[in-house]
A and B are shown apart, each in its own frame.
Chain A
Amino acid sequence: MSPLFIFLSIAVYFILLFLVAYTVEKESPWTIRLVRSPLIYSLSLAVYCTSWTYYGSVGKAASSGLSFLAIYLGPTIMICLWWIVLRRMVIIKDKYRITSIADFISARYKKSQGLAALVTLMALIGSMPYIALQFEAVKSTFILLIKADASENTWIMDHFGPIIVLTMTFFTVMFGARKLDPTERHRGMMTAIALESVIKLLAFSACGIFATYYLFHGHSEDVLHSLFANPATAAVLRIGDGENGYITWSTFMILGMSAILFLPRQFHVAVVENSSVQNILPAMWQFPLYMLLINIFVVPIALYGISSGIPIDLADTYVLRIPVTHGKTWLALFVFLGGFSAATSMIIIASMTMSTMLVNHLLLPLFNVLRPLAFMRRYLLGWRWIGILFILSVGYWFQIELGQSYALVNMGLISFAAVLQFAPAAIGAIFWSAGSKLGALSGLSSGFFVWFYTLMLPAFLKSGLMSSSLLENGPWGIRFLRPEHLFGLDALPALSHTVFWSLLFNIGAFVLISLLFGQNEEERNIAHDFRSISLRKKNVPQEHSEDDSIDIDQKKEALLSVLNDYFPPEKSMEVINTKLIEMSLHARKGISIIDFSEFHRGIEIVLAGSIGAAMAHRALNRENVFAREEKNRLSKAYAEILSRLNVSPQELAEKIDFYREREQLLTTHGQELEQRIREKEQEIEARTQVEKALKEAEYQYRSIFNNALEGIFQASADGKILTANPAMATILGYSTPAALIKEVVDIRTHFKTGSARRDRLFRRLIVGKNVENFEIQVVNASGKVLWLNINARPSLDAQGRLKLVEGIAEDITKRKEAEEKLNLYHDKLEETVQLRTAEVLENQAFLQEVLEGILAAVIVVDQDTQGVLDCNSIAEKLLGYDKATLTRDKNALLKTNILQKANDGQVLDRELIVERQNGELIPVLRNILFVTYKGLSAQAIILFDIAERKALERQVNMSQKLQSIGQLASGIAHEINTPIQYIGSNISFLSESFNQLFETNNLYKALMERAKSGEDISKDMEEVARHTEALDLEFLMEEIPHAVNESLSGINQVSSIIKAMKQFAHPEQENLTQVDINKTLEQTVTISKNEWKYVADLQLDLDRTNPEIAGYPGPLNQVFLILVINAAHAIGEQNEKSNQKGQIIIRTRSNASDVTVSISDTGCGIPETIIEKIFDPFFTTKAVGKGTGQGLSIAYSIITEKHRGTIEVESIVGKGTTFTIRLPVKP
């Protein structure tokens, strides 16, 4: 288990204790009742069961058998005497404001400070190792619990002890020493201790039940047999071996009997914290029962531990080890918290009470002796806090230093033996009047010395702190004085040996010295007071003497100076004034010596509550508040009283005792009667309050009855109205309820006759059934039919016959009429709804038919999720996916490419290429409608299959193109013909020229041949000269290159025309390509030249910085050609009127996103009436056969649909027309 987790559990546990203590300290009525309850007192006594009980009992049982039980049987036996012993102690405590065992003993023996200091010292020495034992138990069980996780949170492990010390110091200070309380009672702390007692009992029992279950898990007879067969387990079921076993048993019993009352913490819980002697009786059986319960499972746990193989050396941890071994983590944690409770409750109470003793009986006397430190007395509370921290720290230091040593493990019994030394003096205090201070001091000293010498010292020696030779040889080698065999007594075990000798010395010294030296007067008085205390009453009514010789103000000053040494001045003043008021002396200036004596005594008792009886006595005596002369007067006053009574002091005391007892009994009885009177008064007061409340309620109900809007009635079985309110009378048409009661003989006659509901109503009432919200028609006194809503309760007699009917009637006529109207409206509404529903269904059917019949795919898509909500069968066919796939698989729709994309902008109608499931691409026209579909924002995507239209368009385009080509053909032919003609002429010229040149060359060759052969070449030379002259060589040299160049130019011209034609006639490309608009325009101008050159001049004004656009070159050529030809035709028409050549200007401009082309002409223009129709298909103004009306329509389609551009026209009739085309660089 994780250390952090355990630590947190402890923290939560402490918080719980804090909360409990804090809640109880708030003093609400129920917490006061709780704290005063005997059960809390009994459970707080269980602080006796420390971790030494919780873990050690099992260890003791495993190692020494049943002897441990004597530790609890002893207290049980002693408790039988509590009604005698403890009751006296509690009464003495209340009278003397006793705060501790030291205070108690010292108070009896002449308020001896030395005795108190000795008892405190003994208690401190005896208790400190016992506190250490508790720390050791907490620490060792903590380590056992975290063994598996020991590596984790080493910080917590290292600081576990100091954290626990500080937390417990804080808790003890908060709830045990937060303020100086003369009663020294701590309700919060006691309740927390009681809660801890419950937890440790439950935790131990849980472990016991667990161990018992596993022990007898099988055949019980076999188990018992094996237990007896095993010597180790058999030893558990024995008190002891031989005589020593029984001696030890009896010793334990004696120790338990004394420890239950004289351990400082037990004395504190049993005596100081006792709020009422009445709590003692229930505690006398409840606390022994607690001890019995917590011991029931000790033996089974020990037996199971041994039989399961856990070494007996580890028996002290069997309680925790058993659940840990079985892996029962939560049980182990619970058991740990139980042990933690046992340890902490002891530590808290012990530290608190020991701190009080330490401060009151050791420190304060020290401050009194050392006068420079006298001012420290005022810091009483602070010293107690320091005392608590000191005791806890020393206890923790003991645990670190001694650890598991012999001394510590035996310290429980050693402490008990120390405490036993208080018994003779304490018991003698209340039962033996002859016991003296000197005797008590001697007895305690000698007993304590013997205890230390015979038990404590050997324990330390065995722990290895000192040489153990003293044990074997005795001091100075005197074996007769060996600590464990004092005076040669070898027969007893060590503990019994100590108990025997220490008690012998203690009692012997106490009795002998007391008898030898006797008591003084003061001692005798106190002894008698203690002896007869239970017969006395605390607050005897005062009768004040008329004597007023004592100046009260002067005495107040003297007492204040004493109290100011220990309290703040205002607190001191409060103490004195409170006491004066209690004694009814506050209004007097002077008082008698006897009154002052009582006042002085009262102040001493209050002071004793804070600093102890001995210290308070000494403090007041120190200041000589009583002057010698006043003491003499007091003695005389008492002597006079005695002489007047004519009795001896002893007789007087006895008489006083008797009368005081009678008075106490009468006072008690009177108090009980007063209490009963108070209870009766409270009862009467409560009854008065109830009656008043009843009257108020009656008035309210009467008011409701009279003012209610509903009719309230009571009718007899025969229908006679017995009671009715005004509303009932009004409903039935009577002026007053009295008139109704008088005139209506039988209310049943008012119910509309012949009604099945009426019969049902009567039947229900007759059989005693209630009627709820029963609506029925009645006829009122004026004959008007009313609707009433009736709630009625029948009352039957002993024979089960209807006796009375009580009820409420509400006039609901208006509501009924409204309901009837509402029903009518409802029927009409129903009819309308049915009609509308039929229409809607019809419309739905119609829409469904339309959807299925429009031959368009309709897909409804969720606008947010883009998932398909619905689609028609056409969509399934078009996309190739069935409806289920489309609605289920979002990727299917994405794949089809039909969804609106971010770059689609606001364009909702668009041609798209859709990919079908089989990968086939088909053109569609997409139209998007934004609709609400079943409450969702949706898009209705409508897809038209335009594959056929596209094919048709292509055919039309082609035919139009062919038509254009046809129109251009003659012109193009003419354009080609002209260069061909001059190319032909030039070639003819070149042919002739070259023939002549070849002839001349042949003449030169023949001349050369003759010259080589030596023939006469003169004739030939003449012939050559003549021929050359005829040839006109200079002309040829000049014209031939010219003819060649001209021919080449012609060829280029033809070539460009053909190239343009080829580009024009090129089949339409499917994909976008980069298009140079300027080049396209130049090609268009080239092939159309013959169309415009006779009618117009054409000017190209091209922006050479134009970017290439993404487009289709063929269709763009077609558009430009259409526009240029149209321009030429328009100019041609205009020329007929003006006989002037027109002008065509083609201009390009561009920016980053667009290229703009404008084609202007000076033609006839377009009339405004038809300008809007020019892009319509088949619209033409040309004569039949000259135009099809398709040109501009196709141009419009190409620009706007294919290139997402715009085409606009501006025209003035008779002036010309300009077409402006804007083409986006990226459509």
Chain B
Amino acid sequence: MILEGRSIALIIFAASLLFFNWPLVSIADGGLGIILYLFFFWAIAIAGLRHNCRREKKIQENGNEGDDR
């Protein structure tokens, strides 16, 4: 299960690298759009991380340690 949590973190990492780098950031560059773009995906990343955190915590609380590490 922790592997799944780690996978989610890796997905957020990869997605963030993608969304916050050239060329995607250049699409909306130059105006209010870039601000909205950056903060929106930033907030999404944080929400994903929060979700992952709660999920992991819940798993640990339930004592379900059936991961495959």
Contact = CB atoms under 8 A, between A and B. Distances in A.
A249 B49 CA distance: 23
A1157 to B, nearest CB: 120
Interface string A391-428: 00000000000000000000000000000000000000
A246 B25 contact: yes
B13 A81 contact: yes
Given A66-B38, A292-B46, A246 B22 contact: yes
Given A77-B20, A246-B22, A669-B63, A296 B9 contact: no
A299 B46 CA distance: 20
A224 B32 contact: yes
Contact of B46 (A82, A253, A278, A288): A288
Nearest to B20: A73
A238 interface: yes
Given A80-B16, A296-B39, A239 B25 contact: yes
A239 B34 contact: yes
Given A66-B35, A239-B34, A296-B39, A281 B53 contact: yes
B20 A284 contact: no
Contact of A246 (B26, B47, B60): B26
Nearest to B67: A665
A1082 interface: no
A224 B32 CA distance: 9
Contacts of B50: 285
Interface in B14-35: 16-17, 20-22, 25-26, 29-32, 34-35
B29 A76 contact: no
Nearest to A82: B9
Contact of B38 (A73, A228, A289): A73
A224 B36 CA distance: 14
A661 interface: yes
Interface in A209-251: 224, 228, 234, 237-239, 246, 249-250
A82 B5 CA distance: 12
Contact of A80 (B9, B22, B26, B39): B9
A190 interface: no
A640 to B, nearest CB: 31
A1075 to B, nearest CB: 114
A299 B38 CA distance: 13
A1037 interface: no
A672 B12 CA distance: 31
A69 B63 contact: no
Nearest to B17: A77
B63 A285 contact: no
B10 A249 contact: no
A84 B57 CA distance: 16
Interface string B45-69: 1110110110011001001010001
A76 B35 contact: no
A1210 to B, nearest CB: 123
A535 interface: yes
Interface string A284-305: 1100110010001001000000
B34 A80 contact: no
Contact of B26 (A79, A239, A672): A239
A1009 B42 CA distance: 172
Contacts of A292: 39, 42-43, 46
Contacts of B26: 239, 246
Interface string A319-340: 0000000000000000000000
Nearest to B13: A80
A616 B57 CA distance: 37
A77 B32 contact: no
Contacts of A234: 30
Interface in A40-78: 66, 69-70, 73, 76-77
Contacts of A661: 69
Contacts of A517: none
A81 B5 CA distance: 11
Contacts of B63: 669, 672
A81 B10 contact: yes
A76 B16 CA distance: 9
Contact of A284 (B22, B49, B69): B49
B30 to A, nearest CB: 5
Interface residues of B, number: 36
A83 interface: yes
Interface string A966-999: 0000000000000000000000000000000000
A755 to B, nearest CB: 68
A83 B32 contact: no
A228 B31 contact: yes
Contact of B49 (A237, A288, A535): A288
A496 B42 CA distance: 24
B28 to A, nearest CB: 9
B45 A76 contact: yes
A1041 interface: no
Considering residues B25, B29, B49, which has the most beta carbons from chain A within 10 angstroms of its beta carbon?
B49
A661 B49 CA distance: 26
A1059 to B, nearest CB: 127
B6 to A, nearest CB: 6
A66 B34 contact: yes
Contacts of B30: 234, 237-238
Contacts of B17: 77
A832 interface: no
A285 B29 contact: no
Interface string A268-287: 00000000001001101100
A299 B35 contact: yes
A249 B53 contact: no
Given A77-B17, A239-B29, A250-B21, A83 B9 contact: yes
Nearest to A78: B13
Interface string A910-925: 0000000000000000
A1107 B32 CA distance: 115
Contact of B42 (A73, A238, A665, A669): A73
A221 to B, nearest CB: 12
Contact of A76 (B34, B46, B52): B46
Contacts of B20: 70, 73, 77, 253
Given A246-B25, A669-B65, A237 B35 contact: yes
Nearest to B8: A80
B34 A284 contact: no
Given A253-B20, A285-B50, A535-B69, A77 B56 contact: no
Considering residues A246, A249, A285, which has the most beta carbons from chain B within 10 angstroms of its beta carbon?
A285
B2 to A, nearest CB: 8
A2 B50 CA distance: 45
Nearest to B55: A281
A844 interface: no
Contacts of B21: 246, 249-250, 253
A84 B6 contact: yes
Interface string A79-114: 111111000000000000000000000000000000
Nearest to B25: A239
Contacts of A669: 63, 65
- Shortest 8 CB-CB distances between A and B: which pairs? A80-B13, A285-B50, A285-B49, A246-B22, A281-B53, A77-B16, A80-B12, A238-B30
29 contacts: A66-B38, A73-B20, A76-B42, A81-B9, A82-B9, A83-B6, A84-B6, A84-B9, A224-B32, A228-B31, A237-B32, A238-B29, A238-B30, A239-B25, A239-B34, A246-B21, A249-B21, A253-B20, A253-B21, A281-B52, A281-B53, A281-B57, A284-B49, A284-B53, A288-B42, A288-B45, A292-B46, A665-B65, A668-B65
Given A228-B31, A284-B53, A288-B42, 15 more contacts: A66-B38, A69-B38, A73-B42, A80-B9, A82-B9, A237-B34, A238-B30, A239-B25, A239-B29, A246-B25, A250-B21, A281-B56, A288-B49, A292-B42, A672-B63
Interface of A: 66, 69-70, 73, 76-77, 79-84, 224, 228, 234, 237-239, 246, 249-250, 253, 278, 281-282, 284-285, 288-289, 292, 296, 299, 535, 661, 665, 668-669, 672
